[in-house]
Copies of this chain bind each other. A is one copy, B any other.
Amino acid sequence: MSGLAGLLAGDLRVVNVGLASFAEPVAAAGAAVTTLDWRPPAGGDAESALRLARLYRDERIEAANAVAVERLLAAQPMLVDVMTAREAIPALADGPLLLHAGPPIEWERMCGPMRGGIVGAIVLEGWAADLAAAERMAASGEVAFAPAHHFDAVGPMAGITSPSMPLYVVEDAATGRRAYSNFNEGLGKVLRYGANDEEVLRRLRWMNSELGPVVKAALRSLPDPVNLKSIISQALQMGDECHNRNVAATSLVARQLAPALARQGDPGVRALEFLRDNNFFFLNLSMASCKLLTLAGHGVAGSTLVTTMARNGVDFGIRVSGCGDAWFTAPAPVPVGLYFPGYGPDDANPDLGDSAITETAGIGGFAMAAAPAIVGFVGGTLAEAMAYSVEMGTITLARNREFQLPTLGAGAATGIDVRRVLDTGSQPVINTGIAHRLPGVGQIGAGICRAPLGCFTSALAGIEAALLAAS
């Protein structure tokens, strides 16, 4: 016997690829079935799948990606200074301009928490006398808005950065390139979740007038800048993934800065109290470090390395090393997670903030194996945490040599490749806080979301266009 008849003569052993239901009648008839979890590439979009096939083995891309990811891995973020935003980013000194998280967005389309943050910042800057006047001003077009990313800066959640705020200055020891982030306000009612009442503004004024200057003075008194890459590496050995958990990194940097802050008298004491009580203090330093790492990998012609993932609460946007300043966007998803008592998914704002820069650099959700407490918070196990980190290894270009994950015995999966995301259908996993969709309410939970596939299909088209233009 041969051919089809021969195939069916013996005991059937079937491998089913795709929809599990296809195999059910076969199994019911008594055959052994192995179901493979397979999804068509590029989310089933034929045009993108063909493009992916054309670009998957393009030698120019391979070479460009090798350069880009090596630059990302080699950067050495050091905390060198604190400057006001208007000193660090001259555009902020020119006219009423505020920076926000994520890709570009106009006032009319902004989500509640971002509007709340903007209104608060306008009052903080003294451009309007009260919140109502500030809201009219924001809607009138008198204030310009731009992504923080356009100035090599990042901010968590709404990410509102105004001229008087202090920024961390993080510098690459190798190249001198700089990235910036604002300071973390702590938990509770904070501007980054859209709260803007007097308590919020009072804290921001203290951060402007005292916290920023005293941290600056402490840093300048140190013989060497603070090696943030070393702190992140250590913290990954200590249960942090440096996005949603920063307890170890905050404690390590507090211990390192404490003598220099203590030498500054009462303002230093108050800074140390703030550091003691804010387990998210390091988040913004982690973000600025990751911005610097990904900046180092940006701008390599032909590279499909993702160098930014950011959300404005409406759109999710990515930027790609070989595609210059272009943003590739799709609607921002709502995170899946655990809500604080009294809140649920209906209250949640879609995903928000520049903090996905941590995942872009290979930590955060990509380093979940380092921080089983994050998934434990929503009832998950160490095995599930490890599974996220293993899965992210299928869409990345390298293993980080310095960011090691102790439970995996391997470096963090680093450097998202647009092509691998589309080929596997494994969307980048992001650990995130969940904001209430209305301004002023604040954080209502924490969870996990996946970068939308649409950003990556658009980016692939952008890459192909850039390659065609160059050839």
Contact = CB atoms under 8 A, between A and B. Distances in A.
Interface of A: 234, 237-239, 247-248, 250-252, 254-256, 258-259, 261-263, 268-270, 272-273, 275-276, 372-373, 376, 381-382, 406-407, 409
Q: Tell me the number of copies of this protein.
A: 2
Contacts of A276: 255-256, 258-259
Contacts of A259: 269-270, 272-273, 276
A273 B258 CA distance: 8
24 contacts: A238-B238, A238-B239, A238-B247, A248-B248, A248-B251, A251-B251, A251-B254, A251-B255, A254-B254, A255-B255, A255-B258, A255-B275, A256-B276, A258-B258, A258-B261, A258-B262, A258-B272, A259-B269, A259-B270, A262-B272, A372-B406, A381-B409, A382-B406, A382-B407
Which residue, A234, A238, A252, A263, has most C-beta atoms of chain B within 10 A? A238
Interface of A is mostly: helix
Contacts of A270: 259
Contacts of A258: 254-255, 258, 261-262, 272, 275-276
A217 to B, nearest CB: 14
Q: List the 9 closest pairs (A to B, CB-CB), nearest first.
A: A262-B262, A251-B251, A238-B238, A259-B272, A258-B258, A254-B255, A258-B272, A259-B273, A238-B239
A268 B262 contact: yes
A176 to B, nearest CB: 28
Contacts of A262: 258, 261-262, 268-269, 272
Contacts of A272: 258-259, 262
A73 to B, nearest CB: 22
A333 B461 CA distance: 68
Contact of A234 (B247, B252, B255, B268): B247
Given A262-B261, A269-B262, A406-B372, A250 B255 contact: yes
Given A262-B261, A263-B269, A406-B382, A373 B237 contact: yes
A239 B373 contact: no
A276 B252 CA distance: 9
A119 B372 CA distance: 48
Contacts of A273: 259
A259 B381 CA distance: 36
Contact of A252 (B237, B251, B372): B251
A321 to B, nearest CB: 34
Nearest to A235: B238
Nearest to A376: B406
Contacts of A372: 406-407
Contact of A239 (B256, B261, B275, B406): B406
A234 to B, nearest CB: 7
A377 B237 CA distance: 13
Nearest to A274: B259
